[in-house]
Amino acid sequence: MKPVFFLIIMMLPHVALAQDNVITSPIDGSTVAIPDVAAESLKALNGQGASLKVLDKMSGQVEDLSLTEGQTQTYGRIEISLGQCRYPEDNPTGEAYAWLTVRDPNLDSTIFDGWMIASSPALNALDHSRYDVWVIRCTTA
């Protein structure tokens, strides 16, 4: 009986792989079908720069910044550097994500260093008591 049990256990991952397009809710048991996405349709291109919005929470002032790749710009007490901005090949004005480095030169410390996503700024947000920074879109020209 052990070989049969072992065979069933070995087949379980294959059954799960065959059903990876359906997600079942653990709460009510409802299912949602997830469409297949080919890897070729997920190609991202590099933009030449990025458009950002910066909020100074003390003054309430909001400003638009345009940075080119590799450029650093000072806003108030922070320095914002753009490493790279990427966007979907089939939608240049859509889902931008940018590698930003935000530093406080007075404290000689890095406040943020990572990818920031335009459609989900809270996913990987700048955590600063005075400033908020959001990616709006990549610039392509």
Assign 44 a pLDDT band (cuts: 50, 70, 90): confident
pTM: 0.68
Residues of the chain with pLDDT > 90, as a percent, come to 45
CA-nearest of 116, 107, 109 to 138 is 116
Q: Is 15 helix (H, G, I), strand (E, B) or coil?
A: helix
Instruction: List, for residues 16-40, the tens digit of each pLDDT value.
Output: 444 456 767 666 777 766 666 555 5
d(CA 51, CA 134): 9
Instruction: List, for residues 81-92, the tens digit of each pLDDT value.
Output: 999 999 988 776
Assign 45 a pLDDT band (cuts: 50, 70, 90): confident
Q: Are 131 and 76 in contact (CB under 8 A)?
A: yes
Please tell me the predicted confidence (pLDDT) of residue 21: 67
Instruction: List, for residues 87-117, the tens digit of each pLDDT value.
Output: 988 776 668 889 999 999 998 889 999 999 8
